[in-house]
Amino acid sequence: MTADSVAAAESPARGAVVREAWATLAHLAFVAMFVAATVRIGKRDWNFFVFLVVEDGAIESLTAAFLLLTAATTHHLALGYRRFGRRGLATALWLGAAAFFVAGMEEISWGQRLFGIETPVAIAENNMQGELNLHNHPLFHGTNEVRGFLVVGAYGTFCGLAYALLRRRARTERAARRMDALRLFVVPVRFSPYFLALLVYIVLRRQDSPLISDHFPQKRLVKEIAECLFAIGCFLVAFYRLRTEGVCPRDPSLPDPTATASTSSGAR
């Protein structure tokens, strides 16, 4: 290849890097403003802050709504892949949609307070808040909760960058196709700030950081903010994949023209 042809091939890749970088900065700015706004509300009017983050408050309702929207979006994407003949991939996406649906319903205790449902005694006795859900069972709190959030936060924060770097280092067409087949389950770099917020929260919580304890008398309420940002991030990832894959998605083993520069530069 001549120098001019190499430069022409690398130009779109560089443009993709710039676009992804600006998109990442935009989402990072939104996350920072979201956190700053909630912190400011907590310092100026604690009662109003509690009103926002209590059970069935605005923050928790937003979290549940975005998780359910993620489930619906993932389901729609799965339908497209089934029509495309990729039944195995569609099944994996449906499992993901089911997980997001359960998470969303768990967030609002399956509509318990909305419909005035009483918690069965057997469940209430093993539930930290006496609610009709599983995530308040002692098994899912403490160390297990921290570990789960840590894994999810770290995956969402770093998997996009790791994927881009590995995809760029793929030296054969076969290796590149294998990497491309995984892209649906990778969080694009631009959406990593939403998962970074969850990761930072967990790290600060494990260290009992004064950044939390000095500003929030009830530290558990901070979790609602991190969970809401996580839910927003999940929806954005699902919607992005639905938009870029289309109603009749492409075969995931084919190159993704919407990938970041690192991925679009691929194997050479």
Q: Give the model confidence (pLDDT) of 156-193 as tens digits.
A: 999 999 998 888 887 888 888 878 878 889 999 999 99
From the centroid of its chain, how far is CA 45? 29
- What is the per-residue pLDDT for 205? 79
Q: Is the pLDDT of residue 6 over 60?
A: no
- The reply to whether 116 falls in a domain is no
Are the C-beta atoms of residues 233 and 196 closer than 8 Å to each other?
no
**Binning pLDDT at 50, 70 and 90, where does residue 253 land?**
low
- The reply to whether 90 falls in a domain is yes
d(CA 181, CA 147): 28
- The reply to whether 114 falls in a domain is no
Return the exposure string of 156-187: e unless at least 16 CB atoms fall within 10 Å of the residue's CB, then b.
bbbbbbebbeebbebeeeeebbebbeebbbbb
Residues in the chain: 268
CA diameter of the chain: 76
Give the residue numbers spanning the domain of 38. 3-107+142-265
pTM reported for the whole predicted model: 0.82
Helical axes 220-245 vs 143-168, angle rounded to 10° = 30
- The reply to whether 115 falls in a domain is no
Number of domains in the chain: 1
Q: pLDDT tens, 73-127?
A: 999 999 988 888 889 989 999 999 999 999 999 888 877 777 777 777 777 777 7
- The reply to whether 146 falls in a domain is yes
- The reply to whether 196 falls in a domain is yes
Least confident of 37-51, 131-145, 196-210: 131-145
**Binning pLDDT at 50, 70 and 90, where does residue 64 land?**
very high
- The reply to whether 120 falls in a domain is no
Are the C-beta atoms of residues 191 and 236 closer than 8 Å to each other?
yes
- What is the per-residue pLDDT for 251? 53
Q: pLDDT tens, 208-236?
A: 777 676 666 666 678 889 999 999 999 99
- The reply to whether 12 falls in a domain is yes
